[in-house]
Chain A
Amino acid sequence: MKLFGTISLTAVLMAAGFAAAAEIPRNERRSGYTFMAPDTQTIQDDDTANPGMLWVLDGESLWKRKAGAAGKSCSDCHSDANTSMKGVAARYPAFDKTLGRPVNLEQRINLCRARHQEASPIAYESRDLLALTAFVAEQSRGMAITLDTTVELQPFVAKGRDFFMKRQGQLNLGCTNCHDDNWDKHLAGSAVTQALPTGYPIYRLEWQSMGSLQRRLRNCITGIRAQNYDYGAPELVELELYLMSRAAGMPIETPGVRP
């Protein structure tokens, strides 16, 4: 049934012609939250009912846990997260001068572990990394997404935008075909959103667990039957960077709940 829905949507998109996809005008942007049923919105709104908060609380403990050969915890350098981490998630992915490329929040945490804690990286999508990312991102809840406008970042934003726009995969679909041209329509019973990642990491009902933006992107890429990328791949980070720039000015909602 899902495949049928996908095929019929493709037919519609191809029949509609290859109209140049335009980005959504700023005043028409809506968070994925607004596409959810009221019952699901309630799950996100209530901190004591939001399963994502379980990961935020885990992250709070991990923040204080000493790690690595240096025997330091996050709090040893950054002390209280709700002061030091305020606004951080709202400007990620950010440019890392040493690497000469953008990194997302998960990679930043692992870079800190390597450079300052002399600890091994935490695996992508592991409970610990999701917990720390959720805890750090939650400190920016309510703050507007504001990416650096540094010149170095721009070529990467452009690469991310190109990825978003290009048709790929067996279904020959670009992200823009659904998320710019057909948002608020439905794909197999799910609302098509505007691809504005305001709540990551999210508790996705489909996963029954917390997951990162890259996990969601890999789902989408599987959905259009295109060649997928590994976690942490530069293409995925560039796409994250572009998506966050799409959402510039919108408030962070972490921990978000999404269907």
Chain B
Amino acid sequence: MASALINVPKKAKRGDVIEIKTLMSHIMETGYRHTAAGQVVPRDIITSFTCRYNGEEIFRADLFPAIAANPFITFFTIATESGKFDFEWIGDNGFSEKASATISVE
């Protein structure tokens, strides 16, 4: 089942500033909701998102319950070399998802 939507330009020129857009499927349950019976719906969120470019971390985010469901995060990086972007989402209840995208830089 598809969990993530990634948008990375396929090609770029060396030194270009490129935008990376990520969308991950996740309910981001805040931990502040209650059922009609009065029980707390326990917190279940993504807590951390990391992006590595050819192994080196170029962006990281700490997420809190205030981040909306199906977290959408966009950021920028300088295209330095061809290679791979690795994305990782980590969260409550052992949540761990990875995705990757390649880029060709001339």
Interface residues of A (CB under 8 A from B): 46-49, 51, 53-54, 57-58, 60-61, 208-209
The interface residues of chain A lying within 8 Å CB-to-CB of B72 are: 49, 51
B84 CB within 8 Å of chain A: no
Choose among B7, B23, B28, B74 the residue that contacts A54 (Cβ–Cβ < 8 A).
B23
The interface residues of chain B lying within 8 Å CB-to-CB of A60 are: 2
Closest B residue by C-beta to A47: B5
Interface residues of B (CB under 8 A from A): 1-3, 5-7, 21, 23, 25, 27-28, 68-70, 72, 74
On whether the beta carbons of A48 and B23 are closer than 8 Å, the reply is: yes
Q: How far is the CA of A60 from the CA of B2 in the complex (A)?
A: 9
Q: How far is the CA of A58 from the CA of B21 in the complex (A)?
A: 19
Choose among A46, A47, A48, A57 the residue that contacts B2 (Cβ–Cβ < 8 A).
A57
The interface residues of chain A lying within 8 Å CB-to-CB of B23 are: 48-49, 51, 53-54
B82, chain A: closest CB distance, angstroms: 21
Q: How far is the CA of A57 from the CA of B6 in the complex (A)?
A: 12
The interface residues of chain A lying within 8 Å CB-to-CB of B25 are: 51, 54
Q: How far is the CA of A51 from the CA of B6 in the complex (A)?
A: 12
On whether the beta carbons of A53 and B5 are closer than 8 Å, the reply is: yes
Choose among B5, B27, B28, B74 the residue that contacts A57 (Cβ–Cβ < 8 A).
B5
Q: How far is the CA of A145 from the CA of B33 in the complex (A)?
A: 39
Q: How far is the CA of A51 from the CA of B5 in the complex (A)?
A: 9
Give me 24 A-to-B residue pairs in the complex whose CB atoms sit less than 8 angstroms apart, sorted by A's number: A46-B21, A48-B5, A48-B7, A48-B21, A49-B21, A49-B72, A49-B74, A51-B23, A53-B23, A54-B3, A54-B5, A54-B23, A54-B25, A54-B70, A58-B1, A60-B2, A61-B1, A61-B2, A208-B27, A208-B28, A208-B68, A208-B69, A208-B70, A209-B69
Closest A residue by C-beta to B6: A48
The interface residues of chain A lying within 8 Å CB-to-CB of B1 are: 58, 61
A110, chain B: closest CB distance, angstroms: 20
The interface residues of chain A lying within 8 Å CB-to-CB of B3 are: 54
On whether the beta carbons of B2 and A58 are closer than 8 Å, the reply is: yes
A256, chain B: closest CB distance, angstroms: 15
